[in-house]
Amino acid sequence: MLSHSPAILAFRTLRIFTVLAILTCASIAQDVGNCTVHDPSTRTDCPGAIAFFQKLQTAVNGGDKNQLASMVSYPMHAMQNGKRIQVRTRQQFLSQYPKLFTPAVVCAIKAAKDSDVWGNYQGFMVGSGVIWWDAVIPASVKNPQTDSGKYPFKIISINSENVMAPGCSAGK
């Protein structure tokens, strides 16, 4: 068995902690709301996503179900009672509204700020993923990365379960 001097062990321990610290900082940097804290992963359509969020928040604050229904890309995915469902039409959205926009979902959206808007390749979200939206780009578009600003943002998913937002709980 090899034995190492205390200096070598201290150096190796320091090197391990340094690597872990770098990885932790990189992980935290990826978790920030990258629409207001710009870094290389910031999506170019963040300003439009924030504007959409403000419109969404206004509709939620006013309880405007019809406005929200017009902001959805159908079919929309949702989580309810542990099951993934599809909301296929405006009529289905309106009839399912109380199950989609539970008090906890409404609370999470109302509590969110522009600085909470975060985007990645799946879209934009607030409230730890309680609601997701993105530009709805037709399949016929040849270069969606450069053309994304030409298409409207729409809600693509609502997760009414396990809502995690400051001041909000499943019962609020």
Regarding predicted confidence, which is higher, 30 or 20? 30
Q: Is the peptide bond before 152 cis (omega within 30 degrees of 0)?
A: no
Residue 142 lies in a domain: no
Averaged over 97-101, what is the pLDDT? 95
The total of structural domains in the chain comes to 2
**Is 10 found in the same domain as 89?**
no
**Is 46 found in the same domain as 27?**
no
- What CA–CA distance (Å, rounded) separates 123 from 68? 18
**Is 96 found in the same domain as 47?**
yes
Residue 23 CA to chain centroid, in angstroms? Answer: 22
Say yes or no to pLDDT of 53 above 80.
Answer: yes
Q: Quick one: the chain helix, strand, coil %, rounded to 5?
A: 45, 20, 35
Task: Quote the pTM value.
Answer: 0.74
Do 97 and 154 contact (CB within 8 A), yes or no?
no
Residue 95 lies in a domain: yes
Residue 126 lies in a domain: yes
Regarding predicted confidence, which is higher, 20 or 133? 133
pLDDT band at 29 (very low <50, low <70, confident <90, very high): very low
Averaged over 13-36, what is the pLDDT? 44
Do 166 and 111 contact (CB within 8 A), yes or no?
yes
